[in-house]
Amino acid sequence: MSTNGKTLITTEKLPIKLWLDAEQMDTGALAQARNLANLPFAFKHIAIMPDTHQGYGMPIGAVLATKGVIIPNAVGVDIGCGMCSLRTNLTEIDTDDLKEIVKIIRATIPVGFNRHQTAQDEAWMPKIQGHLPIVKQEYSNALYQIGTLGSGNHFIEIQHGSDGYIWIMIHSGSRNIGFTVANHYHEIAKQLNQAAGEDISNDLAYLPESSEYFELYRNEMNYCLEFALANRTLMMERAKAAFREVFPEVEFSNFINKPHNFAAEEQHFGETVIVHRKGATRARKGEWGMIPGSQGTRSFLVTGKGEAQSFESCAHGAGRIMSRAQARKTLDVKTEVKALQEQGVLHAIRSRKDLDEAPGSYKDIDEVMHNQQDLVDIQIELQPLAVIKG
């Protein structure tokens, strides 16, 4: 059944509203969406964004509102993962200068599993306020990880905008501190649910408001959100420094930051609920955000339309069409590299192990954008010039 450009599934306890055809969802993600719709504390309906694919417990690209509970796995292990963008006043950049900037960025921002050799200035770290046991436990290690990219789909990209300017976009999260917080409270949630005899999948174990761990997790999650922003901000400072080495007079403006793995108390349909966004971006009316494609395809700066039916949310990217293992097994290195070279993109594909982040492993970003015309307005299109990945 289709309504207002969305696909509506009504076979479960709550409706599932899809911003894509149900046939476009992989079976695992669709099964997970059905599980969400049958949770006793889920509110109103489940919203599935057009970039959705299977995750752990909850699909990536899903929005779940709850009453009285918070679900660590509905936020995910990379708490606060998100993107930031920054505009330069440059209108063009030649290949030699681009390569030099990329070289400096690679020398100053650790990628993959690498971290800094020395602790970074503590002034970059968010202040610890209140009782945050896991944050305090991981704080010293985090001093070596702040300002690092990580691996997977995280990236630093230099882009040329349809507004005529060169932009920088960074995608990264809360590194090991967020991972540890997520796993710690997910295990506690499983134990609480089992002790109470709850018939809830372990992947969707929850913390009730009545538990002390509800507020503990929320406070530590919020710290991880701040850390993820600080992590991206420090990397952006290093990227700015790289640009200044090549262009001493360059200026920067229009900083945008948007997380897409978090839970927040919000008002929707006249009630106070906890909105879990896992691989989904908040898109209130007029709110700026970013929706990147894969390396080699366009990205978009958008403003939200504040669509109530999506809980004021939109996609966070192109979304995968194949698993990482499947991409490495089935895609061809030469074909993927050739496509990037033909577009003149300085890319990050060197061997078969890099194919999990090749453009061929992702959905068509133009189709994703078409499917969410009622959620966002495109303001600026960004063409990739250079991509740095872990």
Catalytic positions: 316
Name the strand (E) or helix (H) holding 197.
Answer: none
Q: What amino acid occupies position 384?
A: P
d(CA 246, CA 104) in angstroms, rounded, equals: 10
Strand order of the β-sheet with 376-389 is 252-259, 82-88, 166-172, 155-161, 376-389, 299-304, 288-291
User: Residues with Cβ < 8 Å from 289, sequence gap 6 or more?
Assistant: 256, 258, 281, 282, 283, 301, 302, 303, 304, 314, 376
d(CA 193, CA 198) in angstroms, rounded, equals: 5
The maximal CA–CA distance of the chain, rounded, in angstroms, is: 64
Report the candidate in 264, 279, 75 with the shortest Cα–Cα distance to residue 186. 75
The total of other beta-carbon atoms located within 10 Å of residue 332's CB is 12
**Which tokens in the block code for residue 218?**
């929320």
User: Residues with Cβ < 8 Å from 255, sequence gap 6 or more?
Assistant: 84, 85, 86, 236
Question: Which stretches within 279-323 are classed as H helix?
Answer: none
